[in-house]
């Protein structure tokens, strides 16, 4: 199960990077949406806390990948990937 989750996560990250680079999505806004999608609640179960933490982590990974691509890019060139 963990391998499947990891694979789906990586596909999602790569897709988000590709869509951002093509100008289809606003990357920072997408990351902010991930961070806000599961807010703490008094009735939330344990798995929702874990899901919220993982969404926070994914948003951070996307932001870090964006920063890495920008720092490595030369004028007119953007490098893809996750650092």
Segment 26-81, tens digit of pLDDT:
999 999 999 988 776 666 677 788 888 889 999 999 999 999 988 887 666 554 55
pTM equals: 0.72
Residue 77 lies in a domain: no
Residue 7 located in a structural domain = yes
What is the domain count for the chain? 1
pLDDT attached to residue 45: 77
Residue 78: inside a domain: no
Q: Considering the domain boundaries, does residue 80 fall inside one?
A: no
pLDDT computed for residue 28 by the predictor: 95
**Residue 83 pLDDT exceeds 50:** no
Domain of 22? 2-72
Q: How far apart are CA 25 and CA 17, in angstroms?
A: 9
| Alpha carbons 71 and 19: distance in angstroms, whole number | 19
């Amino acid at each position: 199960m963990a391998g499947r989750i990891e694979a789906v996560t990586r596909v999602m990250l790569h897709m988000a990077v590709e869509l951002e680079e093509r100008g289809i999505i606003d990357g920072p806004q997408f990351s902010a949406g991930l961070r806000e999608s599961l807010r703490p609640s008094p009735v939330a179960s344990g798995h929702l806390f874990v899901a919220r933490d993982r969404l926070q982590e994914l948003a951070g990974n996307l932001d870090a990948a964006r920063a890495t691509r920008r720092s490595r890019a030369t004028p007119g060139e953007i490098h893809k990937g996750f650092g």
